[in-house]
Amino acid sequence: MLNCGILRFAMTNYSQQEEHGDLDVPGGVEAHDMNKGPEYGVILPTTVVGSYPVTPGHGLQSLFDPMRAAVKTAVDDQVTAGIDIISDGQVRGDMIQAFTGVVPGIKGQEVTGKVQASASPITVGDVRFARSRKNQVKGIITGPSTLAHGLHISTPMYRDRDELAMDIASAFIGEAKALESLGVTILQLDEPILSTGTADLDVGRKAIELITSSVRIPSCMHVCGNLSGVIDEVIKFPVNILDFEFSNNRKNLELFNARDLGGRMIGYGCVDSTTNTIEPVDEIRKRIDEGIEVFGAEALLIDPDCGMRMRTREAAFTKLSHMVQATREIRESL
């Protein structure tokens, strides 16, 4: 299992191998050595859960790709806010729509046949652009269980969502490998369904393992919501980073006092993503300090509770900026 130091190595500045470029910069950065110790990085790295408000573009370019400008805005705002590990903004649809439109066996929200890998990677184009603006980028895939429970099964091919989740996982192995080849710093799997008690956690773990075992880069699983009913099982999932919300679900922090994470890191949600209300820097700093008391500074990645897609652009940008400022102040005090 990857430890905190190795993740800092994974954040080594890839610009030694690839300079910033434009939208068409190729990937091809080799996966890092998982057995090599830390060389570079920063304590309390800041990141995002993924999504950002959609800002549509105008003009001729938007006729060819209506979301091109939105991707650029999302990426540039994260860079300007000072985020250490950015995302592509996930602006092309919600976590279900972004994948179902191009996966064979799925039409809209209907499963119509056997789910198979898409003919080409789904997220690589936007992630490649993000990497042309900043080297540390998080690749994000909707988790198999969450996707399976967001679809309607309209085929006798699957008896239940458990079988569907496993095939979705198999179909996403190629996507994970493509993101790894592109040089992403972290591969994140979004599984918000796991906190609801709806999905079979054993099946969910096996599905996640299918994907994470296919790559050598650090893996992360994001689960938002109240963890009290699932925490013992969720922390068994085979990922290097467990990403949870602690701002809007304060009791989640209490669940970890007596639990051993085995050297894994915590994505520490410290900004409320459910409202446009802007938390002061001091309030965010207090939340981060509380997390440090439980997990230690070396074990934390700092991020919002969840994605920012439903927020205004101004609110999302200011929230991220305040989160970065609070983190920098704490770094200086350590």
Neighbours of 13 (CB within 10 A): 12
- Residue 64's pLDDT is what? 72
Mean pLDDT lowest among 45-59, 109-123, 181-195, 307-321: 45-59
Residue 259 pLDDT class (50, 70, 90 cuts): confident
Whether residue 236 has pLDDT greater than 60: yes
Q: Which residue has the higher pLDDT, 276 or 12?
A: 276
CATH number of the CATH domain containing 23 = 3.20.20.210
Residue 61: both structure tokens together: 């370019």
End-to-end CA distance of the chain: 27
Residue 93 pLDDT class (50, 70, 90 cuts): confident
Share of the chain above pLDDT 70, in %: 86
- Residue 286's pLDDT is what? 98
Q: Which domain holds residue 192?
A: 4-333
Share of the chain above pLDDT 90, in %: 77
- Residue 311's pLDDT is what? 97
Residue 107 pLDDT class (50, 70, 90 cuts): very high
Q: What is the mean pLDDT of residues 177-181?
A: 98
Query: At how many degrees (to 10) do helices 161-182 and 124-133 cross?
Result: 40
Q: What is the mean pLDDT of residues 165-173?
A: 98
Contact 86, 137 (CB under 8 A): yes
Whether residue 173 has pLDDT greater than 60: yes
The whole model's pTM is what?
A: 0.87
- The DSSP code for 317 is H
Contact 309, 192 (CB under 8 A): no
Whether residue 223 has pLDDT greater than 90: yes
pLDDT tens digits for range 268-290:
999 999 999 999 999 999 999 99
- Residue 23's pLDDT is what? 35
Residue 88 backbone phi and psi in degrees, to 5: -85, 0
Tally of structural domains, the chain: 1
Mean pLDDT lowest among 59-73, 159-173, 217-231: 59-73
- Residue 142's pLDDT is what? 97
The C-alpha atoms of residue 150 and residue 161 are separated, in whole angstroms, by 10
- Residue 39's pLDDT is what? 30
Q: What is the mean pLDDT of residues 193-217?
A: 97
pLDDT tens digits for range 68-85:
889 999 999 999 999 999
pLDDT tens digits for range 14-72:
333 333 333 333 233 233 333 232 233 789 999 999 999 998 877 676 667 778 889 99
The C-alpha atoms of residue 168 and residue 98 are separated, in whole angstroms, by 14
- Residue 57's pLDDT is what? 75
